[in-house]
Chains A and B, each alone.
Chain A
């Protein structure tokens, strides 16, 4: 099985590579279109800012390559947000696989809500193969200031003042807002479930 991690200007992929390694899988880091198209599994990671990341992807036509993939794709964190329709982060049109928008957390009262959300939060209403053997309300590690709203593709919900999409799924596209590679055993289970698809 060939597992590819898309290389672009967003993120720290070392942890993801190591998480795959702990599951006995070698993640190939590449931005080569053919390498990506020929993979069995594609992971689209990301920590960073939406507009710069989208611009980088567009310049290399990677946005089209990603949108046309037919094998299972897993978006993580910014990777998930970029698979949505649009992000409020610097007014950025995104790849548009998922029919939802990405918005910034708003504190209802000043300083009530710390932004970014940093830490462990629980995921609920789990309904995707990604969450097989993952109990309801399992805790995952989140670091983000923007969130994907709820929509038809939502397959897990988290609450941070409001309910939002912790995970999205549509056809062969899977995505999680949290970092499964940093979410202890439960996170490793999710990565394994993705690899098993």
Chain B
């Protein structure tokens, strides 16, 4: 049976992981390759590397990093952040990334999703959506949550899937950082009404939150960052918990 996936997310700036990370058992917690390999060894099902560097040198550095990750890590990984063209994606996939994620650039130019899925296949195109609940609905936000749009998250997700997005990575800005649990309603709406996998993101604070997003919202995967980096939840313990509570996971 296909399992639910647990996905740690690593933010990368200038080739280094950001956010204070307190692992004593690895030499260099700022090294994305070493941290990624540790998560893989602990049983993470996939990894997401989000590049937040904003320089022109970015692409070259990122491609080198992706090669280094692919060389050392034996589970699938997605690379996102500032990707806006077929050429960007081609370089990253050839460097060894399994999937790429697009966000603002795809919203500004939806045709990009059609181009990418035609060129590389839907299976490697993840659409990331940042969304906030206000005035009675969930709206799409761009540029890392700084720019509001008047388009509803569900409508955009549906259009993107029709254009060829193979997965949706949905981050609830209301929940992100609160540690009060994932946004079950919008995650559930997407997971149950779209025929592509939905990765829930934002709000994980304890192990029950993961169980809830899998069982109630029927998310296909759940992503988290700081709770893993700060070891508030460790992946082996999380997987044991989910397994013991009847969630179908790789164990």
Contacts and interface: CB of A to CB of B under 8 A. Distances in A.
A182 B74 contact: yes
Given A15-B70, A21-B71, A139-B250, A117 B98 contact: no
Interface string B62-94: 000001001110111000000000000000011
A119 B192 CA distance: 17
Contacts of A133: none
A116 B1 contact: no
B3 A120 contact: yes
A117 B98 CA distance: 15
Contacts, number: 85
Contacts of A110: 195
B68 to A, nearest CB: 10
B74 A188 contact: yes
Contact of B74 (A115, A117, A144, A185): A185
Interface residues on B, range: 20 to 34
Contacts of B40: 184
B3 A121 contact: yes
Interface in B167-199: 167, 192-197
Nearest to B191: A114
Contacts of A19: 74
B220 interface: yes
A117 B70 CA distance: 22
Interface string A97-126: 000000000010011011111111110000
Interface centre among B72, B95, B123 (most CB of A within 10 A): B123
Contact of A15 (B96, B220, B250): B96
B75 A119 contact: no
A12 B221 CA distance: 24
A141 B195 contact: no
A119 B70 contact: no
B218 to A, nearest CB: 11
Interface centre among B45, B70, B74, B193 (most CB of A within 10 A): B74
Nearest to A138: B250
Given A12-B93, A116-B166, A139-B250, A18 B70 contact: yes
6 contacts: A18-B72, A19-B74, A118-B220, A121-B1, A121-B3, A141-B76
Interface of B: 1-3, 5, 40, 45, 67, 70-72, 74-76, 93-96, 98, 121-123, 166-167, 192-197, 220-221, 250
